[in-house]
Amino acid sequence: MKIARIAGTPLEPSSPRRKSMKDSAISSENYDELINTLIAKTAYSIGAILGDGHMRFVPSYGNGSWYLVEVAGMDREVPERFLSEVRDVFHKDYHIIERTLNSGTKMYYGRTYQKTIYDYFHAFTHDKTEVPMEIVRGSDEVKRDFIAGLFDTDGTVKYTETWNGTRTKKNPRWQLGFSNTKLGLVGSVASILASMNVKVGKIHVYERGGYRTIYTIHPNLRTFIDAGFYFQIKRKQDRLLSYLAHVVGSETMYATSLTKDEDIVQA
């Protein structure tokens, strides 16, 4: 049996070979229009799956094979929107699963089990390894939704306070970040952001434990907001709103970065 590895997941059996979506009975002149329509309706879910989603194919020769697509996290908003988009496009109704871990943390799971849904997301994420070109070349709204799903699940927006030079008061700092083990994926995300005038800076490379390489970007928060990007998760979106409230109330605003890439904004 052929074995495939999805980044961040155990080794799993690879899915069977199948015809491409374009092999189906649809005229070529309508194909691009159909795909663009589907992408527009599922851009957030594609981002969420690429970020921290999970896809698993389990072959069975008895009761039928299992095709799992899962989006999970501590924030209900992510699986809720994923299942909403699945309902809109595939007309399948799934419900959020709630579980409390031994640590007391509440987790929310959005899971689907239909082969058509699995094939769709598997094809458009290339088994969680690439950003679809339909996203890269998509409309601004498609890009915003995709980045929201990706950053909701695998991005960070941090708030810290640091002393000023005279240690008389603390200054607030906000930092936006995204990391992944695949350079091509991070590069595509950086290109999407830059195409909408977000100052991305360079891609930072970190070695973890001598066996894994992490690629990280820290987009400038002000240009991220100005371009219309957002978070679906309320607690993350509230960080953006707190930043805006602070800078609007300040007489002056300037950008600073510990990595000299304008990746941290200080007001």
**Looking at residue 199, which CATH number applies to its domain?**
3.10.28
Residue 34: per-residue pLDDT: 87
pLDDT tens-digit series, residues 118-141? 999 999 888 788 899 999 999 999
The answer on 165 and 70 residing in a single domain is: no
25: which residues sit within 8 A by CB, 6+ positions away? none
The answer on 121 and 14 residing in a single domain is: yes
pLDDT tens-digit series, residues 217-254? 999 999 999 999 999 999 999 999 999 888 876 644 44
The answer on 17 and 102 residing in a single domain is: yes
Among residues of the chain, what percentage have pLDDT more than 70?
82
Indicate the pLDDT class of residue 27, thresholds 50, 70 and 90.
low
Residue 60: per-residue pLDDT: 76
Residue 25: per-residue pLDDT: 47
Residue 8: per-residue pLDDT: 37
Indicate the pLDDT class of residue 266, thresholds 50, 70 and 90.
very low
Distance CA 150, CA 134 (A): 15
Q: Report residue 137 as tokens.
A: 């070349």
The answer on 124 and 25 residing in a single domain is: yes
Tell me which of 59 and 197 has the higher pLDDT. Answer: 197
Specify if 136 maps to a domain: no
Are residues 118 and 102 in contact, defined by beta-carbon separation less than 8 angstroms? Answer: no
Specify if 64 maps to a domain: yes
Q: Of 98, 129, 160, which residue constitutes the final position of a domain?
A: 129
Specify if 139 maps to a domain: no
Specify if 181 maps to a domain: yes
Indicate the pLDDT class of residue 26, thresholds 50, 70 and 90.
low
Specify if 146 maps to a domain: no
pLDDT tens-digit series, residues 189-208? 999 999 999 999 999 999 98
| CATH number of the domain residue 66 falls in | 3.10.28.10
The answer on 187 and 95 residing in a single domain is: no
pLDDT tens-digit series, residues 146-194? 999 999 999 999 988 888 777 778 888 899 999 999 999 999 999 999 9
Average pLDDT of the chain, as a whole number: 84
Indicate the pLDDT class of residue 210, thresholds 50, 70 and 90.
confident
Tell me which of 214 and 58 has the higher pLDDT. Answer: 214
Residue 246: per-residue pLDDT: 84
Specify if 66 maps to a domain: yes
**The pLDDT of residue 211 is above 50:** yes
Residue 61: per-residue pLDDT: 72
Domain that holds residue 254: 152-266
Residue 78: per-residue pLDDT: 97
Q: Of 129, 163, 188, which residue constitutes the final position of a domain?
A: 129
Specify if 142 maps to a domain: no
Q: Report residue 13 as tokens.
A: 């059996």
What's the whole-number mean pLDDT along residues 95-115?
Answer: 96
The answer on 107 and 225 residing in a single domain is: no
Distance CA 217, CA 232 (A): 20
Q: How many domains does the chain contain in total?
A: 2
Specify if 110 maps to a domain: yes
The answer on 162 and 86 residing in a single domain is: no
Q: What is the DSSP string of 45-70?
A: HHHHHHHH-EEEEE--SSS--EEEEE
The answer on 213 and 105 residing in a single domain is: no
The answer on 9 and 120 residing in a single domain is: yes
Q: Coil, strand, or helix at residue 263?
A: coil
Distance CA 215, CA 189 (A): 11
The answer on 165 and 51 residing in a single domain is: no
The answer on 244 and 182 residing in a single domain is: yes
Are residues 188 and 136 in contact, defined by beta-carbon separation less than 8 angstroms? Answer: yes
The answer on 262 and 175 residing in a single domain is: yes
